[in-house]
A = this chain, B = another copy of it.
Amino acid sequence: MNVTGHTRRPASIRDVATAVGVSYQTVSRVINGHPSVKQSTRERVLAAIDELGFRRNATALALASGRSRAVTVLTANTTHYGYASILQGVEEAARAASYAVGIGVLESAEEAAVAAEVRRAADAGGGLIVIAYDPAGVGALAAVPAELPVVGVVETPATPPGGDRPWVWTDDREAAHAVTRHLLSLGHETVHYVAIPSSTRRTSARTTGWRQALQEAGAPEPRPLQGNWGPAGGHRAGRRLAQDPSVTAILCGNDDLALGVLRALHENGRSVPGDVSVAGFDDAPHSAYLTPSLTTARLDFTGLGRAAFALLHGVLEQSAPIAPHGVSVPELVVRESSGPPPARV
Protein backbone atom coordinates (compact mmCIF):
# COMPACT_ATOMS: atom_id res chain seq x y z
CA MET A 1 0.00 0.00 0.00
CA ASN A 2 2.92 2.28 -0.62
CA VAL A 3 0.84 5.17 -1.88
CA THR A 4 3.73 7.46 -2.64
CA GLY A 5 4.73 5.12 -5.40
CA HIS A 6 8.46 5.39 -5.48
CA THR A 7 9.78 2.54 -3.39
CA ARG A 8 13.05 3.84 -2.09
CA ARG A 9 15.59 1.50 -0.63
CA PRO A 10 14.15 -1.76 0.58
CA ALA A 11 12.74 -1.93 4.08
CA SER A 12 15.09 -2.91 6.89
CA ILE A 13 14.23 -4.51 10.17
CA ARG A 14 14.22 -1.08 11.79
CA ASP A 15 11.66 0.14 9.30
CA VAL A 16 9.49 -2.81 10.18
CA ALA A 17 10.12 -2.22 13.85
CA THR A 18 9.04 1.41 13.84
CA ALA A 19 6.04 0.54 11.71
CA VAL A 20 4.89 -1.90 14.36
CA GLY A 21 6.13 0.07 17.33
CA VAL A 22 8.57 -2.49 18.67
CA SER A 23 12.35 -2.68 18.73
CA TYR A 24 14.37 -3.99 15.83
CA GLN A 25 15.45 -6.89 17.98
CA THR A 26 11.89 -8.11 18.24
CA VAL A 27 11.64 -8.10 14.48
CA SER A 28 14.89 -10.03 14.30
CA ARG A 29 13.42 -12.56 16.71
CA VAL A 30 10.35 -13.00 14.60
CA ILE A 31 12.22 -13.59 11.36
CA ASN A 32 14.45 -16.07 13.12
CA GLY A 33 11.57 -17.92 14.69
CA HIS A 34 12.70 -17.25 18.21
CA PRO A 35 10.09 -18.71 20.61
CA SER A 36 9.81 -15.96 23.18
CA VAL A 37 7.76 -13.49 21.22
CA LYS A 38 4.15 -12.91 22.19
CA GLN A 39 1.82 -14.37 19.63
CA SER A 40 0.02 -11.09 19.02
CA THR A 41 3.31 -9.23 18.56
CA ARG A 42 4.57 -11.82 16.17
CA GLU A 43 1.47 -11.47 14.07
CA ARG A 44 1.68 -7.71 13.88
CA VAL A 45 5.33 -7.95 12.89
CA LEU A 46 4.61 -10.51 10.23
CA ALA A 47 1.86 -8.30 8.88
CA ALA A 48 4.22 -5.36 8.68
CA ILE A 49 6.89 -7.48 7.00
CA ASP A 50 4.35 -8.45 4.41
CA GLU A 51 3.11 -4.91 4.09
CA LEU A 52 6.51 -3.36 3.57
CA GLY A 53 7.80 -6.18 1.43
CA PHE A 54 10.67 -6.68 3.81
CA ARG A 55 13.35 -9.16 2.75
CA ARG A 56 16.27 -9.94 4.96
CA ASN A 57 19.44 -8.47 3.47
CA ALA A 58 21.74 -11.36 2.64
CA THR A 59 24.86 -9.22 2.71
CA ALA A 60 24.19 -7.82 6.15
CA LEU A 61 23.31 -11.26 7.38
CA ALA A 62 26.56 -12.64 6.12
CA LEU A 63 28.59 -9.83 7.61
CA ALA A 64 26.99 -9.92 11.01
CA SER A 65 26.66 -13.63 11.47
CA GLY A 66 29.68 -14.86 9.60
CA ARG A 67 27.60 -17.48 7.81
CA SER A 68 26.92 -16.75 4.21
CA ARG A 69 24.71 -19.51 2.82
CA ALA A 70 26.72 -19.64 -0.36
CA VAL A 71 28.81 -22.13 -2.27
CA THR A 72 31.26 -21.47 -5.03
CA VAL A 73 31.94 -24.13 -7.61
CA LEU A 74 35.43 -24.05 -9.00
CA THR A 75 35.78 -25.76 -12.34
CA ALA A 76 38.01 -25.76 -15.40
CA ASN A 77 35.05 -25.68 -17.74
CA THR A 78 31.33 -25.14 -17.85
CA THR A 79 30.50 -26.49 -21.27
CA HIS A 80 31.54 -30.13 -21.07
CA TYR A 81 28.61 -32.35 -20.30
CA GLY A 82 30.02 -33.88 -17.14
CA TYR A 83 31.14 -30.62 -15.61
CA ALA A 84 27.94 -28.83 -16.53
CA SER A 85 25.85 -31.61 -15.05
CA ILE A 86 27.72 -31.55 -11.79
CA LEU A 87 27.15 -27.82 -11.64
CA GLN A 88 23.47 -28.36 -12.34
CA GLY A 89 23.30 -30.91 -9.53
CA VAL A 90 25.00 -28.59 -7.08
CA GLU A 91 22.68 -25.76 -7.99
CA GLU A 92 19.65 -27.97 -7.58
CA ALA A 93 20.61 -29.06 -4.10
CA ALA A 94 21.77 -25.60 -3.14
CA ARG A 95 18.52 -24.05 -4.24
CA ALA A 96 16.60 -26.56 -2.15
CA ALA A 97 18.63 -25.48 0.86
CA SER A 98 18.35 -21.81 -0.15
CA TYR A 99 22.03 -21.42 -0.72
CA ALA A 100 23.44 -19.15 -3.40
CA VAL A 101 25.71 -20.72 -5.99
CA GLY A 102 28.73 -18.99 -7.45
CA ILE A 103 31.07 -20.25 -10.12
CA GLY A 104 34.69 -19.67 -10.87
CA VAL A 105 36.40 -20.97 -13.97
CA LEU A 106 39.99 -22.11 -13.85
CA GLU A 107 41.10 -20.93 -17.21
CA SER A 108 44.69 -22.00 -16.85
CA ALA A 109 46.29 -24.74 -14.82
CA GLU A 110 49.19 -22.47 -14.05
CA GLU A 111 49.81 -22.40 -10.34
CA ALA A 112 49.60 -18.67 -9.74
CA ALA A 113 46.44 -18.33 -11.78
CA VAL A 114 44.80 -21.19 -9.94
CA ALA A 115 45.78 -19.77 -6.58
CA ALA A 116 44.35 -16.40 -7.55
CA GLU A 117 41.09 -18.01 -8.54
CA VAL A 118 40.91 -19.90 -5.27
CA ARG A 119 41.43 -16.65 -3.38
CA ARG A 120 38.67 -15.01 -5.35
CA ALA A 121 36.36 -17.88 -4.53
CA ALA A 122 37.31 -17.65 -0.88
CA ASP A 123 36.51 -13.95 -0.89
CA ALA A 124 32.98 -14.77 -1.92
CA GLY A 125 32.56 -16.41 1.47
CA GLY A 126 30.78 -19.67 2.15
CA GLY A 127 31.93 -23.08 1.07
CA LEU A 128 33.81 -24.35 -1.91
CA ILE A 129 33.20 -27.22 -4.28
CA VAL A 130 36.13 -28.00 -6.51
CA ILE A 131 35.79 -30.18 -9.57
CA ALA A 132 39.13 -31.87 -9.62
CA TYR A 133 39.01 -33.99 -12.74
CA ASP A 134 41.88 -32.19 -14.35
CA PRO A 135 45.21 -30.65 -13.38
CA ALA A 136 43.70 -27.20 -12.87
CA GLY A 137 41.06 -28.57 -10.54
CA VAL A 138 43.51 -30.73 -8.65
CA GLY A 139 45.77 -27.74 -8.24
CA ALA A 140 42.88 -25.67 -6.97
CA LEU A 141 41.91 -28.30 -4.45
CA ALA A 142 45.46 -28.38 -3.18
CA ALA A 143 45.60 -24.61 -2.98
CA VAL A 144 42.55 -24.28 -0.76
CA PRO A 145 43.69 -23.13 2.66
CA ALA A 146 42.97 -25.67 5.37
CA GLU A 147 40.51 -23.51 7.29
CA LEU A 148 38.14 -23.19 4.33
CA PRO A 149 35.25 -25.62 4.09
CA VAL A 150 35.67 -27.48 0.82
CA VAL A 151 34.39 -30.56 -0.94
CA GLY A 152 36.29 -32.05 -3.84
CA VAL A 153 34.69 -33.86 -6.73
CA VAL A 154 37.47 -36.23 -7.63
CA GLU A 155 38.26 -39.30 -9.65
CA THR A 156 37.99 -42.52 -7.74
CA PRO A 157 40.70 -42.18 -5.15
CA ALA A 158 43.06 -45.15 -5.11
CA THR A 159 43.44 -44.65 -1.41
CA PRO A 160 41.23 -42.00 0.15
CA PRO A 161 43.65 -39.18 -0.58
CA GLY A 162 44.54 -36.72 2.07
CA GLY A 163 42.04 -38.45 4.28
CA ASP A 164 41.33 -35.29 6.20
CA ARG A 165 38.93 -33.77 3.73
CA PRO A 166 35.58 -34.71 2.25
CA TRP A 167 35.38 -35.92 -1.31
CA VAL A 168 32.77 -37.31 -3.60
CA TRP A 169 33.37 -39.45 -6.62
CA THR A 170 31.82 -41.91 -8.99
CA ASP A 171 33.24 -45.35 -9.26
CA ASP A 172 35.11 -44.76 -12.49
CA ARG A 173 37.32 -47.73 -11.95
CA GLU A 174 34.38 -50.06 -11.70
CA ALA A 175 32.70 -48.45 -14.68
CA ALA A 176 35.78 -48.88 -16.87
CA HIS A 177 36.07 -52.40 -15.62
CA ALA A 178 32.49 -53.18 -16.58
CA VAL A 179 32.70 -51.72 -20.06
CA THR A 180 35.98 -53.48 -20.75
CA ARG A 181 34.54 -56.78 -19.53
CA HIS A 182 31.57 -56.24 -21.78
CA LEU A 183 33.81 -55.78 -24.82
CA LEU A 184 35.95 -58.78 -23.93
CA SER A 185 32.89 -60.90 -23.41
CA LEU A 186 31.89 -60.19 -26.99
CA GLY A 187 34.98 -62.06 -28.05
CA HIS A 188 37.53 -59.31 -28.58
CA GLU A 189 41.06 -60.35 -27.98
CA THR A 190 41.87 -57.14 -26.22
CA VAL A 191 40.57 -53.61 -25.81
CA HIS A 192 42.49 -50.48 -26.74
CA TYR A 193 42.11 -47.39 -24.64
CA VAL A 194 42.04 -43.71 -25.53
CA ALA A 195 42.54 -41.88 -22.28
CA ILE A 196 41.29 -38.56 -21.05
CA PRO A 197 44.01 -36.47 -19.47
CA SER A 198 44.65 -37.73 -16.00
CA SER A 199 43.94 -35.35 -13.18
CA THR A 200 47.25 -36.16 -11.60
CA ARG A 201 50.56 -37.66 -12.52
CA ARG A 202 49.23 -41.04 -11.52
CA THR A 203 47.17 -43.10 -13.90
CA SER A 204 43.49 -42.37 -13.79
CA ALA A 205 40.85 -44.56 -12.24
CA ARG A 206 39.41 -45.29 -15.64
CA THR A 207 42.76 -46.51 -16.87
CA THR A 208 43.13 -48.69 -13.81
CA GLY A 209 39.73 -50.31 -14.26
CA TRP A 210 40.43 -51.01 -17.89
CA ARG A 211 43.82 -52.51 -17.13
CA GLN A 212 42.43 -54.67 -14.36
CA ALA A 213 39.77 -56.13 -16.60
CA LEU A 214 42.38 -56.96 -19.22
CA GLN A 215 44.61 -58.61 -16.66
CA GLU A 216 41.80 -60.66 -15.21
CA ALA A 217 40.99 -61.90 -18.71
CA GLY A 218 44.63 -62.54 -19.48
CA ALA A 219 44.34 -60.22 -22.45
CA PRO A 220 47.32 -58.37 -23.89
CA GLU A 221 47.65 -54.88 -22.55
CA PRO A 222 48.16 -52.27 -25.26
CA ARG A 223 49.64 -48.94 -24.37
CA PRO A 224 46.84 -46.41 -23.79
CA LEU A 225 46.66 -43.51 -26.22
CA GLN A 226 46.53 -40.04 -24.83
CA GLY A 227 43.53 -38.07 -26.01
CA ASN A 228 42.35 -34.81 -24.58
CA TRP A 229 38.83 -33.89 -23.55
CA GLY A 230 37.22 -33.14 -26.87
CA PRO A 231 36.34 -34.99 -30.06
CA ALA A 232 39.42 -33.58 -31.78
CA GLY A 233 41.67 -35.61 -29.52
CA GLY A 234 39.59 -38.70 -30.16
CA HIS A 235 39.86 -38.10 -33.84
CA ARG A 236 43.63 -37.95 -33.70
CA ALA A 237 43.86 -41.11 -31.67
CA GLY A 238 41.28 -42.83 -33.85
CA ARG A 239 43.28 -42.15 -36.97
CA ARG A 240 46.22 -43.95 -35.45
CA LEU A 241 44.17 -46.90 -34.31
CA ALA A 242 42.41 -47.19 -37.65
CA GLN A 243 45.73 -48.00 -39.31
CA ASP A 244 46.19 -51.08 -37.17
CA PRO A 245 44.02 -53.94 -38.44
CA SER A 246 44.49 -55.86 -35.21
CA VAL A 247 42.47 -53.27 -33.32
CA THR A 248 38.90 -54.51 -32.92
CA ALA A 249 37.73 -52.81 -29.75
CA ILE A 250 38.32 -49.31 -28.42
CA LEU A 251 37.34 -47.91 -25.07
CA CYS A 252 37.32 -44.13 -24.87
CA GLY A 253 37.74 -41.98 -21.80
CA ASN A 254 34.55 -40.12 -22.53
CA ASP A 255 31.80 -39.88 -25.11
CA ASP A 256 33.36 -36.91 -26.85
CA LEU A 257 36.54 -38.83 -27.48
CA ALA A 258 34.46 -41.74 -28.70
CA LEU A 259 32.74 -39.44 -31.17
CA GLY A 260 36.08 -38.43 -32.60
CA VAL A 261 37.18 -42.04 -32.77
CA LEU A 262 33.99 -43.04 -34.57
CA ARG A 263 34.56 -40.33 -37.09
CA ALA A 264 38.18 -41.34 -37.68
CA LEU A 265 37.23 -44.97 -38.15
CA HIS A 266 34.56 -43.97 -40.62
CA GLU A 267 36.99 -41.82 -42.56
CA ASN A 268 39.37 -44.75 -42.77
CA GLY A 269 36.72 -47.09 -44.01
CA ARG A 270 36.41 -49.20 -40.92
CA SER A 271 32.86 -49.96 -39.94
CA VAL A 272 31.48 -49.85 -36.43
CA PRO A 273 30.67 -52.29 -34.96
CA GLY A 274 31.42 -54.57 -37.92
CA ASP A 275 35.17 -54.08 -37.92
CA VAL A 276 35.71 -52.27 -34.66
CA SER A 277 33.67 -51.88 -31.50
CA VAL A 278 33.73 -48.54 -29.71
CA ALA A 279 32.59 -47.66 -26.22
CA GLY A 280 32.55 -44.40 -24.36
CA PHE A 281 32.04 -42.99 -20.93
CA ASP A 282 29.45 -40.65 -19.38
CA ASP A 283 26.40 -41.22 -21.57
CA ALA A 284 26.16 -37.70 -22.84
CA PRO A 285 22.74 -36.70 -24.18
CA HIS A 286 23.74 -37.06 -27.80
CA SER A 287 25.36 -40.47 -27.47
CA ALA A 288 22.12 -42.38 -27.90
CA TYR A 289 21.44 -40.60 -31.20
CA LEU A 290 24.76 -41.09 -32.90
CA THR A 291 24.99 -43.44 -35.83
CA PRO A 292 25.90 -45.95 -34.63
CA SER A 293 24.55 -45.18 -31.19
CA LEU A 294 27.22 -45.37 -28.56
CA THR A 295 27.77 -48.07 -25.96
CA THR A 296 28.85 -46.28 -22.83
CA ALA A 297 28.94 -46.22 -19.05
CA ARG A 298 26.35 -43.89 -17.64
CA LEU A 299 27.52 -41.80 -14.72
CA ASP A 300 25.18 -39.82 -12.52
CA PHE A 301 26.86 -36.43 -12.58
CA THR A 302 23.85 -34.53 -11.39
CA GLY A 303 23.60 -36.84 -8.42
CA LEU A 304 27.28 -36.34 -7.82
CA GLY A 305 26.78 -32.60 -7.71
CA ARG A 306 23.91 -32.99 -5.28
CA ALA A 307 26.04 -35.23 -3.10
CA ALA A 308 28.87 -32.72 -3.14
CA PHE A 309 26.55 -30.01 -1.96
CA ALA A 310 24.99 -32.21 0.70
CA LEU A 311 28.41 -33.00 2.08
CA LEU A 312 29.44 -29.37 2.10
CA HIS A 313 26.16 -28.40 3.66
CA GLY A 314 26.88 -30.85 6.43
CA VAL A 315 30.27 -29.30 6.99
CA LEU A 316 28.91 -25.76 7.03
CA GLU A 317 26.00 -26.43 9.33
CA GLN A 318 26.69 -29.03 11.92
CA SER A 319 22.93 -29.33 12.19
CA ALA A 320 22.47 -30.60 8.65
CA PRO A 321 22.86 -34.36 8.66
CA ILE A 322 26.04 -35.39 6.87
CA ALA A 323 24.36 -37.27 4.09
CA PRO A 324 26.22 -40.36 3.02
CA HIS A 325 27.81 -39.30 -0.23
CA GLY A 326 26.47 -42.40 -1.94
CA VAL A 327 29.02 -43.42 -4.48
CA SER A 328 26.53 -43.93 -7.26
CA VAL A 329 26.85 -47.12 -9.24
CA PRO A 330 27.70 -46.58 -12.90
CA GLU A 331 25.44 -48.30 -15.36
CA LEU A 332 26.57 -50.06 -18.50
CA VAL A 333 24.49 -48.95 -21.48
CA VAL A 334 24.93 -51.27 -24.43
CA ARG A 335 24.05 -49.78 -27.81
CA GLU A 336 24.95 -50.30 -31.43
CA SER A 337 28.62 -49.37 -31.36
CA SER A 338 29.72 -52.58 -29.70
CA GLY A 339 29.46 -56.08 -31.11
CA PRO A 340 31.46 -59.20 -31.73
CA PRO A 341 34.78 -58.86 -33.53
CA PRO A 342 34.93 -59.65 -37.23
CA ALA A 343 35.45 -63.33 -38.06
CA ARG A 344 39.14 -64.24 -38.17
CA VAL A 345 40.56 -64.30 -41.64
Question: A96-139: which have CB < 8 Å to B?
Answer: 98, 100-105, 107, 117, 119-120, 123-125
In this assembly, does A168 line the interface, its C-beta being within 8 Å of a C-beta of chain B? Answer: no
Q: Which of B59, B81, B230, B285 contacts A59 (CB 8 A)?
A: B59
| Cα of A95 to Cα of B107 in the assembled complex, Å | 10
Contact B125 A105 (CB under 8 A): no
Q: Which of B60, B105, B266 contacts A88 (CB 8 A)?
A: B105
Contact B79 A81 (CB under 8 A): yes
- The verdict on A285 contacting B92 (CB below 8 Å), with A100-B102, A291-B291 known, is no
Q: From DSSP, what is the main secondary structure of chain A's interface residues?
A: helix
In this assembly, does A155 line the interface, its C-beta being within 8 Å of a C-beta of chain B? Answer: no
In the complex, how many angstroms separate the beta carbon of A242 from the nearest chain B beta carbon?
14
Chain B hits for A259, CB < 8 A: 286, 289-290
In the complex, how many angstroms separate the beta carbon of A37 from the nearest chain B beta carbon?
24
In this assembly, does A315 line the interface, its C-beta being within 8 Å of a C-beta of chain B? Answer: no
Show 15 A/B contacts (Cβ-Cβ < 8 Å), sorted by A: A7-B147, A57-B123, A58-B123, A58-B124, A78-B84, A79-B88, A87-B103, A95-B120, A98-B120, A100-B123, A231-B289, A235-B289, A256-B286, A262-B289, A263-B291
- The verdict on A103 contacting B91 (CB below 8 Å), with A85-B79, A288-B231 known, is yes
Stoichiometry, copies per complex: 2
Contact A256 B231 (CB under 8 A): no
Chain A residues in contact with chain B, CB under 8 A? 7, 55, 57-60, 62-63, 68, 77-79, 81, 84-85, 87-88, 91-92, 95, 98, 100-105, 107, 117, 119-120, 123-125, 147, 230-232, 234-235, 256, 259-260, 262-263, 266, 285-286, 288-291, 293
Chain B hits for A263, CB < 8 A: 289-291, 293
Chain B hits for A81, CB < 8 A: 79
Interface centre among A79, A230, A288 (most CB of B within 10 A): A79
Contact B266 A285 (CB under 8 A): no
Chain B hits for A59, CB < 8 A: 59, 62-63, 68, 125
Chain B hits for A98, CB < 8 A: 120
- The verdict on A104 contacting B120 (CB below 8 Å), with A81-B79, A85-B79, A266-B291 known, is no
Q: Which of B78, B91, B92 contacts A91 (CB 8 A)?
A: B78
Chain B hits for A55, CB < 8 A: 119, 123
Contact A84 B79 (CB under 8 A): yes
Contact A105 B123 (CB under 8 A): no
| Cα of A147 to Cα of B77 in the assembled complex, Å | 33
